[in-house]
Amino acid sequence: MSLLEVKDLKVGFPTADGLVQAVRGLSFSVDPGRTLAIVGESGSGKTVSTQAILGLLPEADISGSAVFEGVDLLRLDEERLRRIRGSEISVIFQDPLTSLHPLYKVGWQIAEMIRVHDPGVGRAQARRRAVELLGMVGISRPDRRVDDYPHQFSGGMRQRAMIAMALALNPKLVVADEPTTALDATVQAQILDLIAGLQREFDIALVLITHDLGVVAGVADEVMVMYAGLPVERADRRTIYYRPHHPYTKGLLESIPGSTGARQGRLRPIPGQPPSMIAVPSGCAFHPRCRYAMPVCVAERPPLGRVTGDGDHASACWLPHQAIGLGEEAEAVRL
C-alpha cells in the first residue's frame, strides 16, 4: 500500500490579473522506503504541489486529495497537520537559513524541535540526540559544533544540519525541495550521497524536488517530469534516462551539463520560456516550445497514457507511444 497517494491535485492562486493555475490535476503515489523525484523547470508546479499537500499555502485554492497513511492531509485542521508535519513528514528546503534561526545555536534548535513534538524528552536527552544526529549527518566534532550558531557553519554544514533536523523525529516521509541547488558542485554530490544513504539506512520514503535531471541519476527509484502544472512523463529512473518518450523530458536530458552532448559542445537548452500560468497554452502546454508540434497538439490536451510495451512508463504526448531513443547522449548520464 502506498504511503502517500495524491489524486487530481489542483492548486490555484487568485490574483488581480486572473487565476494562476499552478497545479492543474496531479496524481502520484509514493511507497514506503522509495524515492520519487519530481522534476521540472521553475514554474512547473513541482514545489507548489508539495507545499499544498503539507498545508503551507493557506492563501491558495486547493482541491483533490492527498492521503497519507489513510488520512487526507487536505482535509485536516492546521493543528493536526502541524503534528504530522515535522514528525511523520519532514521537509528539507533549498536554503537552510529559511529554517535555521540565526540567533539560536544549531544544536538547541534541533533539541527544541524534539522537545516540542515530545515534551516527555528532557533537555539533556534532547541535546544528546542533537549531537548524535549532527554526527550522523557527517558534522565532525558534533559535541563541539552543537553549540555553534548557523553563521558559524558553512553552506554545506547548514544543509547537513537541516537534514539532521528533518530526521530528528524519525519521519516516514521526507520532502527535499531543491536540497542542493544553493551549493557548489562538490558539496552537492556529498549532500545527495548523504540523503540517499540515510534514506536507505532508515528506510524512509523520499520525494526529491529538483529542476535538474542530472541530480536524480544516483538517487531516485521513480521519476515524474512536470510541465505547466501537469505530469508529462513518469517512469522508473533507467527508463527516463534511456528510453524517454516526451520531448520535454528529452530536452531536459539534452541540457544536462556534463552530458556527452555538452562535452562535444552540443549542449542544447530547451528553446523558449515556461508559459504564464494565467494564460496556459491550449492543448499540450509544451507546444509553443516543441520541435515535434502538430495541429492536434494545439487543439487537444494529451492524456498521460502508457508507452507501448514499456511497463509502467507513461507519457502525455500525441506522438506515437514508442520510446524515443537518446542514443549516445544517454550514455553520458551515470546511473
CA–CA gap between residue 216 and residue 220 (Å, rounded): 6
Least distance (Å) between residue 39 CB and ligand SF4: 16
DSSP code string of 203-244: T-EEEEEES-HHHHTTT-SEEEEEETTEEEEEEEHHHHHHS-
Give the rounded distance of the alpha carbon of 213 from its chain centre: 11
Q: Which of 34, 127, 234, 287 binds ligand SF4 (CB under 6 A)?
A: 287
Contact window for ligand SF4 (CB under 6 A) among 27-35, 92-100, 121-129, 316-324:
316-324
Cα 47-52-57 angle, rounded to 5 deg: 100
Any contact of residue 323 with ligand SF4 (CB under 6 A)?
no
**Residue position matching grid coordinates 514554474:** 43
The reply to whether 247 sits near ligand SF4 by the rule CB under 6 A is yes
Q: Which is nearer to ligand SF4, 279 or 298 (CB)?
A: 298
Strand partners for 47 = none
CB of 218 to ligand SF4, least distance (A): 27
- C-alpha pair distances (Å), 219 with each of 109, 185, 187, 333: 28, 16, 16, 13
**CA nearest to 307, candidates 252, 244, 261, 258:** 244
Part of the chain binding ligand SF4 (CB under 6 A), chosen from 119-127, 272-280, 293-301, 327-335 = 293-301
**Secondary structure element (H or E) that encloses residue 173, with its range:** strand 173-177
Task: Indicate whether 227 belongs to the interface with ligand SF4 (CB under 6 A).
Answer: no
Nearer to ligand SF4, 129 or 250 (CB): 250
Give the number of other Cβ atoms within 10 Å of residue 31's Cβ: 15
Grid coordinates representing 215 are 541530480
Residue 45 beta carbon to ligand SF4: minimum distance, rounded to whole angstroms: 17
Question: Among 9, 126, 204, 284, which residue interacts with ligand SF4 (rule: CB under 6 A)?
Answer: 284
Q: Least Å distance between CB 330 and ligand SF4?
A: 19
Nearer to ligand SF4 by Cβ, of 279 and 294: the residue is 294
Supply φ then ψ for residue 176, to 5 degrees: -110, 110
Single-letter residue type at 192: L
Cβ-based nearer residue to ligand SF4, 35 or 44: 44
| Complex with ligand SF4: residue 67 or 304, whichever CB lies closer | 304
Residue entry with cell 502508457: 306
Given the C-alpha cell 551539463, which residue does it identify?
257
Q: Any bridge partners for residue 30, and if so which?
A: 4
Q: Which of 38, 215, 290, 326 binds ligand SF4 (CB under 6 A)?
A: 290
C-beta of residue 136 within 8 angstroms of C-beta of residue 199 = no
Helix intervals (H) in 154-212? 155-167, 185-202
**One of 143, 263, 282, 292 touching ligand SF4 (CB under 6 A):** 292
Segment lying near ligand SF4 (by CB under 6 A), choices 106-114, 139-147, 167-175, 294-302: 294-302
Residue 293 contacts ligand SF4 per CB under 6 A: yes
Q: How far apart are CA 252 and CA 165, in angstroms?
A: 32
Question: Least separation, in Å, of the C-beta of 180 and ligand SF4?
Answer: 28
> Which 296-315 positions form the footprint of ligand SF4 (CB under 6 A)?
297, 302
* Least distance between ligand SF4 and beta carbon 207 (Å): 25
Told to check if 111 binds ligand SF4 by CB under 6 A, we report no
Rounded Cα distance between 210 and 228, Å, is 15
Work out whether 324 is an interface residue with ligand SF4 (CB under 6 A): no
The piece of 64-72, 158-166, 283-291, 323-331 that touches ligand SF4 (CB under 6 A) is 283-291
The footprint of ligand SF4 (CB under 6 A) covers 246-247, 284, 286-287, 290, 292-294, 297, 302, 317-319
